[in-house]
A and B are shown apart, each in its own frame.
Chain A
Amino acid sequence: MRETDRSGRPIPTSVLSLGVPPLVTAHAHAAPAAHSGGHEEHHHYTTTGLDNRKIAIWAFIGSECMLFASLISTYLIYKGRSLVGPFPHTEWTNPQTGQVFKPILNIPVTSFSTFVLLMSSLAMVLALAAVQNKDNPLPANAGLGDRMLASSKLWLWATCILGAMFLACQAYEFTSFVHEGLTIKTNLFGSTFFTLTGFHGAHVTAGVIWLGTLLAIDYKRGLGPKDALNVDLAALYWHFVDVIWIAIFTLLYLIPD
């Protein structure tokens, strides 16, 4: 059967030939009858059948890749080139004062926050699924698990809270580094570390705010299948920020000097 989009038009085959997976599920799941009343916004024909915003967010993510590539490359170029400590993976003794600085990275704490961030992606996937399936009535014998899975509010909250936990870990990490004597001005490691992870943290913060606005809409009028695209855009951004962290965690924390 040919897939159709929201208004029943066939989705052009070029969607497939572009190599873009048919991510129009947001449209496809929307039952046209469910919201045909009232002021519907005008639906423009698009070449790929995808919403413009969907294309734009992929272009944006492509651009963000180069942004983080520049930050990560600079970190790697400067790895091991700091003239003074503290260092990330090795001990350093200040030749003037004789003070000893232990390797500064706290791998257990960051492993925990990495786990938290990865779990937030799972919650994000469930939130999107819940929004997409909002119009499908739960079976009469639905258990607690089914009802939990159907709650977009629950999973949006979960994503936000996990994201905020990650940020809290980062705040803890940053303050403890400053207490131990590493600031953005101390050495090349400090400059590159705080800038790279700070940029990532800013992205997570923006994501939490974005998800917060979705949550606000959910409380105000309830998110339904017609909002699935908006949730999908936030989800794509969120997963991207997550994937970037995997690269950062591996390159900064796991690989020793």
Chain B
Amino acid sequence: MATVAASPSYARPAASEKEGFMAWLTTTDHKKIGTLYLHTSLFFFIFGGLEAVLMRWQLMKPNQTIVTADQFNQLFTMHGTTMVFLAIMPLSAAFFNYLIPLQLGARDVAFPRLNAFSYWVYLLGGIFITLPILFWVAPDGGWFAYAPLSGRTYSPAINMDFWVLGIQILGISSLAAAFNFATTIINMRAPGMNLMRMPMFTWMSFVTQFLIILAFPVITIALVFLQFDRFFGTNFYQVSAGADPLLWQHLFWVFGHPEVYILILPAFGLVSEVLPTNSKKPLFGYGVMAYSGILIGFLGFGVWAHHMFSVGMGPVGDTVFSLTTMLIAIPTGVKIFNWIFTMWGGSIRFTAAMKFAIGLIALFTIGGISGITHSSPPSDLQQTDTYYIVAHFHYVLFGGAIMGIFSGIYHYFPKMYGRYMDERLGTWHFWLNFISMNLTFFPMHYSGLLGMPRRIYTYDTAQGWDTFNMLSTIGAFLLMPATLIFIWNFFKSKKGGEPAPANAWDAATLEWSIPSPPPEYNFAKIPVVHSRYPLWDLTHPERTKDVPHTDEGMRHTGEHDVVDMHIETERRTAKELGIPMPSSTIKPFWTALGIVVMFTGLLIMPHNKMAGLVGIFTGAAMLVGFLYAWLTTPLEEHH
């Protein structure tokens, strides 16, 4: 069957599709929830970016007074917190939502209402933790909130309460989503899609879900301790009661280092989709790519104390964590080489997505190499708490995760909206972003090695830092127009971009076999999968002739709507096709709101006990009541 003509499929929304505010509030469609995640996290990405720009403005020249020291503390705390928990993680979640069911050949995630719940907890928790910066009462203890500094003794005000409770709320969202996606990937693959036929993005997402499932409980407990210390006077981080000042650091980084891979692995997955598609070649070393992702996830739990070399763990601890850190560079390096070999000999199409993907390879490599330099404790002692570290993690998170996510947005935009993004503006965005990103963060290697500490709100002149800071600030200012171009392109293309066909990039995986944007039910007929590149088997058999194909493990489900791999062009409603869809429901929203009300009650407890208790009990009642209503209502309407 030929690919579809460039018919503007967006022009015919399915008849039953509801639009408007309530439709979004009650949706259980993974694609709509993915869209909600995307827009919300882009908003927080810009918000966190503006916080960074304000900091760079303050540091542009020595002895400036754009913001006060206290405001600067809030800015760097909220910049880190926003980017990690409210921008990069949910940007990845946007792709998990949108892509995982499509790549698996499923009609939704395993638990559609739990999925809506995750989003609403994220949104409300994001508002909870972000609002205080507008009144300069935001958290001010760093995104790592080291206790005892973040305890009541040294941070008596409400600022850190927002952080402790806010991160706890966001953890609920991440965990609920992780159970959901892990189950989806294990249990909802189309017939024939065994694990070694899964698209690489889904593979990396799979590893990420396990990292979330195993790492978030640790921060939950660390936060419970801190919460109890701050609200109920316990001694977990009270050094005067004999507590270990390193307990928080250990618990935090047991979570915090896997968290780093939670941020980067989905981006690795995205570029692993973009590179083969635009090189017109299968992914080089598919198996090794999957295994190295698993290995990264596994080793990611064994390197946490390299964040703590300066506390003096002794030679044995330092050596072990130094070695594991060097070890984890191997699977990461394997990935870099496999991407390069994927492009090698390919017929490369330089789309905006491809440029960002190549940008990731280049910039993540720089960040990876500077990372190796602080895997060695003696050299780390020179670098720790300096701008060199800031340079390192921005190369891996901005140069890595964000570049990968931009690549994914350009690549998957036609699938989401049925229209291409503007390639010319995309190229402008890429080059401006690439140049100003390097201009911002490369000089930080120098200012850091010259001894400039992190988290200082100003510095004196004549220490050799002035030029580097000026360059960094110019770079940060230039990132604003770069991002503006992207935002303009994003919204302009949604309305008036060039119409895209189902398989917008002539790609190989299941999500491209259905109309763009996909109908509510995704697949009218569930395809039987025989290989890793099912669409190329149909359209470009020469590309996949060397990929091992086997029908081993094939089985038929006996369901009436399972057919051989095909391309769907028709767009009908689920009702017409008799496909049961989850009903819309507002209960997940109210349940999520109940949780946030509960935490808000706890927040105001120390200031007004009565109001606090009212909040806690109102929230708990909402949570229990709506959860009960939710669990006693069936998922699907009967047609």
Task: Give A contacts to B, CB under 8 Å.
Answer: 9-10, 12-14, 18, 39, 41-42, 44-48, 50, 52, 55-56, 59-60, 62-64, 66-67, 69-71, 74, 77-78, 81-83, 184-185, 187-188, 190-192, 195
Contact = CB atoms under 8 A, between A and B. Distances in A.
A13 B222 CA distance: 41
Contacts of B182: 55-56, 59
Given A14-B194, A187-B235, A63 B213 contact: yes
A244 to B, nearest CB: 13
A56 B243 contact: no
B558 interface: yes
Nearest to A81: B242
Nearest to A71: B221
A50 B526 CA distance: 19
Contact of B232 (A56, A69, A70, A185): A185
B244 interface: yes
B68 to A, nearest CB: 35
Contact of A63 (B214, B222, B247, B634): B214
Nearest to B104: A47
Nearest to A72: B221
B234 A59 contact: no
Interface string B24-52: 00000000000000000000000000000
A42 B216 CA distance: 34
B325 to A, nearest CB: 22
Nearest to A12: B555
A47 B202 CA distance: 15
Contact of B218 (A9, A44, A50, A70): A70
B289 to A, nearest CB: 21
9 contacts: A9-B558, A12-B555, A13-B553, A45-B191, A56-B183, A66-B217, A185-B233, A185-B235, A191-B235
A14 B553 CA distance: 8
Contact of B638 (A39, A44, A77, A195): A39
Contacts of B194: 14
A62 B216 CA distance: 11
- Ordered nearest first, which 4 A-B pairs have the shortest CB separation? A70-B221, A67-B217, A66-B217, A191-B234
A123 B222 CA distance: 35
A70 B252 CA distance: 11
B499 to A, nearest CB: 33
B247 A67 contact: no
Nearest to B108: A44
Interface residues on B, range: 35 or more
Given A56-B110, A81-B242, A63 B187 contact: no
A195 B213 contact: no
A13 B552 CA distance: 12
Contacts of B247: 74, 77
Contact of B111 (A41, A52, A69, A191): A52
Nearest to B628: A213
Contacts of B555: 10, 12
B464 interface: no
Contacts of A13: 553
Interface of B: 110-111, 175, 178-180, 182-184, 186-189, 191, 193-194, 213-218, 220-222, 224-225, 228, 232-236, 241-244, 247, 251, 254, 526, 553, 555, 557-559, 562, 580, 634, 636, 638
Contacts of A188: 235-236, 241-243
Contacts of B218: 66-67, 69-70
A181 to B, nearest CB: 15
Contact of B180 (A46, A56, A74): A56
B225 A195 contact: yes
Given A45-B191, A47-B186, A184-B234, A82 B559 contact: no
Contacts of B235: 185, 187-188, 190-191
A229 to B, nearest CB: 14
Given A188-B241, A191-B236, A63 B636 contact: no
Contacts of B217: 63-64, 66-67, 69-70
Contacts of A39: 638
A185 B234 contact: yes
A72 B327 CA distance: 29
A67 B220 CA distance: 8
Given A81-B242, A185-B234, A52 B228 contact: no
Contacts of A9: 557-558
Contact of A78 (B179, B214, B228, B244): B244
Contacts of A77: 244, 247
A71 B224 CA distance: 10
A64 B220 CA distance: 11
A77 B247 CA distance: 9
A66 B214 contact: yes
Contacts of B183: 52, 55-56, 59
A70 B222 contact: yes
A47 B179 contact: no
B242 A82 contact: yes
A10 B154 CA distance: 63
Given A14-B553, A70-B217, A81-B242, A46 B188 contact: yes
Given A14-B553, A185-B235, A74 B189 contact: no
Nearest to B187: A46
Contact of A195 (B224, B254, B558): B224
A32 to B, nearest CB: 14
A82 B238 CA distance: 11
Q: Which of B180, B182, B220 has the most CB of A within 10 A?
A: B182
B187 A47 contact: yes
A189 to B, nearest CB: 9
Q: Which of A10, A39, A50, A70 has the most CB of B within 10 A?
A: A70
Nearest to A56: B183
Given A70-B220, A70-B251, A70-B254, 7 more contacts: A45-B191, A52-B183, A59-B182, A67-B218, A82-B242, A185-B233, A191-B236
B228 A195 contact: yes
Nearest to A40: B638
A4 to B, nearest CB: 10
A39 B638 CA distance: 8
Q: Which of A69, A74, A190 has the most CB of B within 10 A?
A: A74
A190 B247 CA distance: 17
Nearest to A7: B558
B221 A192 contact: no
Contacts of B233: 184-185
A45 B192 CA distance: 12
Contacts of A48: 186-187
A65 B503 CA distance: 43
Contacts of B638: 39
Contact of B243 (A47, A70, A78, A184): A78
Contacts of B180: 56
Contacts of A192: 236
A64 B216 CA distance: 10
Contact of A187 (B220, B221, B241, B634): B241
Contacts of A56: 110-111, 179-180, 182-183
Contacts of B216: 63
Contacts of B234: 184-185, 190-191, 195
A126 B283 CA distance: 52
A212 to B, nearest CB: 12
Nearest to A9: B558
Contacts of B526: 45
Nearest to B559: A45
Q: Which of A44, A81, A82 has the most CB of B within 10 A?
A: A44
A83 B232 contact: no
B179 A67 contact: no
A39 B215 CA distance: 41
Given A64-B217, A66-B217, A195-B228, A52 B580 contact: no
Nearest to B181: A59
A44 B559 CA distance: 9
